Amino acid sequence: MYNVKTYNAISQAGLDRLTNNYQVNKTDDADAYLIRSVDLHEAEFPKNLKVIARAGAGFNNIPLDRVTKAGIAAFNTPGSNANAVKELVIAMLVASARHMFAVANFSAKNIHADISLMKKTDDRFKGTELLNKRLAVIGLGHVGSLVANAANDLGMKVTGFDPFLSSDAAWNISNQIERAASMKAAIQDADFVTVHVPKTKETTGLIGAEELKQMKDGVHLLNYSRLGIVDNQAAVDALDAKKVASYITDFGDKVLYNREDVVVTPHIGGSTEEAEANGSIRGANIIMKYLETGNVKNALNLPDLNVPFNTPYRLTLIHENIPNMVGQIATKLADNDLNIEGMSNAAKDKTAYTIIDLDQEPYEDLVNELTQINAVIRVRIIKNQK
Ligand SMILES: NC(=O)c1ccc[n+]([C@@H]2O[C@H](COP(=O)([O-])OP(=O)(O)OC[C@H]3O[C@@H](n4cnc5c(N)ncnc54)[C@H](O)[C@@H]3O)[C@@H](O)[C@H]2O)c1
Ligand SMILES: O=C(O)CC[C@@H](O)C(=O)O
């Protein structure tokens, strides 16, 4: 029996996929965590924990270095909520062009007045159209590519900037989207700028005072990525200077409160029934595959390694990516008369992963003995359930 612990509201759709070999939230000493935005940076991980699946795209809440050193595989589910974010961003583009939040505030405050009078008395509510306006999309991954394509379908001129664009992602982007060679080239002519990059050391403050200065006067800025990717104090200064017309973000920050030109939504970009179900189902599938086969695809901290599991037992080893690891492991098995039916190894950055298929049950102390090899981080024996 495997134990799964959930954090945050995890859609039942994914939990329903777990087979009878799984129980959910029965113990803290879990084999797997299925999480959303919970911040794990200060968390202590139980000894049993083998895998963390993040239902969603952003993984800046997982301390990847520490998790890897503990031999825990970490996965996210990018794309599971991309359509939800796209729809909200498009709504916010329309809302900012048509002053929808000012209109809503006005009508809420003047509930007893004849609302049709406001059009006659107040020119503030005359908006602009998105047609032929320019949108800069920073980051063209799962979310950014959908936003770029949808804005293009609405008749906007769209410029994208993504120096690390994967070839898979590039296939999803309409050939109408212009590709900028630099951030400055992307933002300097844009009427709207929207940011869709992961939060890393490199992207923190990606849109700061300098970038805001390079934008057109009256630009509308959107941040549905993460807190800190836009320097909020710089954004407030640019709003005060009327450089930026409006700023819409999914992440609260006290410097943004009580302003009519700022709208903060409470981190709801991916909060739809469909997106939460997608993320939870993908998370549950990832957990079952990793625990039951050791196979890995698109992990955040392990290389891809997918080997058909046709023997009664399998050993998986997470170890440092240094010379002679596989040799030492194979020698230990040979010294103990364990025949290797199949062996595969791959590396990602400083971490390597080895799968060894065995035709017989390994002796009890093998895990301990292999773990004692210098630079071996985690050893598992998996019994084939098929
Ligand atoms: N508000 C929400 O609820 C919500 C929902 C989903 C995702 N997100 C956030 O949005 C981010 C993007 O999500 P995604 O699913 O598109 O991720 P993704 O990994 O598919 O795409 C991210 C893209 O950003 C690009 N990128 C990285 N650094 C860049 C830089 N310096 N300049 C330009 N491009 C850069 C990458 O090459 C990649 O193509 C996530 O990391 C997450 O933080 C927020
Ligand atoms: O879990 C959520 O609702 C947030 C998800 C979102 O921020 C993401 O990065 O995918």
Ligand nearest to the CA of 229: 1
**3-state class (DSSP) for residue 193:** strand
Q: Is the CB of 85 under 6 A from ligand 1?
A: yes
Q: What is the pLDDT of residues 204-239, one digit of tens each?
A: 999 999 999 999 999 999 999 999 999 999 999 999
Q: Is the CB of 198 under 6 A from ligand 1?
A: yes
What structural domains and CATH numbers belong to the chain? 1-81+272-301 (3.40.50.720), 82-264 (3.40.50.720), 303-376 (3.30.70.260)
Rounded to an integer, the average pLDDT of 289-312 is 98
Q: Is the CB of 79 under 6 A from ligand 2?
A: no
Q: Alpha carbon of 179 to those of 137, 214, 374: distances in Å?
A: 10, 18, 47
Q: How many helices (H) and strands (E) does the chain have?
A: 13, 16
Q: What is the pLDDT of residues 126-158, one digit of tens each?
A: 899 999 999 999 999 999 999 999 999 999 999
Average pLDDT, the chain: 96
Mutation to probe ligand 1, out of 37, 60, 137, 143 (largest number of atoms < 8 A from CB)? 143
Q: Is the CB of 279 under 6 A from ligand 2?
A: no
pLDDT of 13 higher than 80: yes
Q: What is the pLDDT of residues 34-73, one digit of tens each?
A: 999 999 999 999 999 999 999 999 999 999 999 999 999 9
CA 236/CA 247 separation, integer angstroms: 9
Ligand nearest to the CA of 160: 1
What sign does the CA torsion over 101, 104, 107, 111 have?
negative
Q: What is the pLDDT of residues 70-103, one digit of tens each?
A: 999 999 999 999 999 999 999 999 999 999 998 8
Q: In this structure, are residues 28 and 257 in contact, taking their beta carbons and an 8 Å threshold?
A: no
Q: Where are the extended beta strands (E) located within the chain?
A: 2-6, 22-24, 32-35, 51-54, 73-76, 134-138, 157-161, 178-179, 192-195, 219-223, 244-249, 262-264, 313-320, 340-348, 351-358, 376-383
User: What single-letter amino acid sits at 372?
Assistant: Q
Q: What is the largest CA-CA distance in the chain?
A: 90
Mutation to probe ligand 1, out of 83, 146, 197 (largest number of atoms < 8 A from CB)? 197
Reading the block at residue 230, the tokens are 């836009």
